[in-house]
Amino acid sequence: MLYGIIPRNVVSFNAETDIPALDDKVILITGGNVGLGKQTILQLSKHNPKRIYLAARTQSKAEAAIEELQTLVPSAPITYIHCDLTSVSSVQECAREFTLKEKRLDLLFLNAGIMATPAGTTVEGYEIQFGTNHVGHALLTKLLLPTLVKTAAEPGSDVRVISLSSIGHLYAPWSGISFPDLKTDMSDSSTWCRYAQSKLANILFAEGLQKRYGEKGIKAVAVHPGVVDTELYRSTFSGYLGLGRLLDRGKRWVYTGVEKGALNQLWAAVGKNVEGGEYYTPIGVSGQGSKWSVDEGLADALWEWTEKELVGYDF
């Protein structure tokens, strides 16, 4: 859904006034050094969380982002934690470091991602976009699940896992997810098809997580932020023979800013009427996914595939 095309059931949400006090809350956000993740941290920092962990690959960029954020919110309790989602060992170390420092985790934002990259694979051989956007996040979630479940069992807790998906999931392969090809570079498929597949996986993973851990107090959802003017979008389109220049000239009508783009995941993190297992377009609108996004059989197949792939990857 694009901003400007407003469905009747859109939720009104103001980050300044509708985010409650986050006293004693511990939060982890992947990709928090730029774009939507950075804006999400900015807004959450204003509401007195105990600690926000900014998980990112490049330390210098993360530290620069933290410095900027703490200029805007001097009391912001932000800590950098290294996490390269293309590497199992890096994700393991991220989870290990976090659990050594914290005994609770209230909000987990699976925010980081790559889009429309050249064909390639992760360190462990997964198609690069699927490996980064889904497998890396799935492993991080798996390793943090004991902490999430423990936190959810405490009185008054409201534990949520928010996956950043995209309306781009509509362009996934005809089968939804091409399981036989996930451990190749899938160079025979277009980069956008590979991206869409990974974004569909984000939705299905949230559904699978809710199905298996909802009764333990974890609420998992997936969100589309809108078409947002971020570094990810600009760098993606810059090489398309003038398309990037055209979009830059027309971004006033095409893109929304990160301030609005972050609202859907902020609402999903703290909103009162958020339903676990749903996929939401801005803001708080359900029922906009593809047929594959609500296919329980495909969601179960992805969960089973992922569990098998992640066997043995512990601390």
Which position among 3, 195, 213, 233 bears the catalytic label?
Answer: 195
Q: How far apart are CA 67 and CA 76, in angstroms?
A: 10
* Residue spans of alpha helices (H) in 79-190: 88-101, 128-130, 137-152
Q: How far apart are CA 282 and CA 33, in angstroms?
A: 22
Chain centroid to Cα 140, Å, comes to 12
Active site residue 46: no
Which position among 38, 199, 219, 260 bears the catalytic label?
Answer: 199
> In this structure, what is the dihedral angle of CA atoms 113, 292, 171, 38, given to the nearest 10 degrees?
-20
Q: How far apart are CA 63 and CA 150, in angstroms?
A: 30
Beta bridge partners of 219: 160
Q: How far apart are CA 71 and CA 65, in angstroms?
A: 10
Beta bridge partners of 280: 223
How many CB atoms sit inside 10 A of residue 241's CB? 7
Task: Report the run of H or E that residue 30 belongs to, with start and end.
Answer: strand 26-30
Active site residue 313: no
Sorted by sequence, the CB contacts under 8 Å of residue 237 that are 6+ apart come out as 243, 244, 247
Sorted by sequence, the CB contacts under 8 Å of residue 308 that are 6+ apart come out as none
Beta bridge partners of 78: 52
Please give the positions annotated as active site. 195, 199
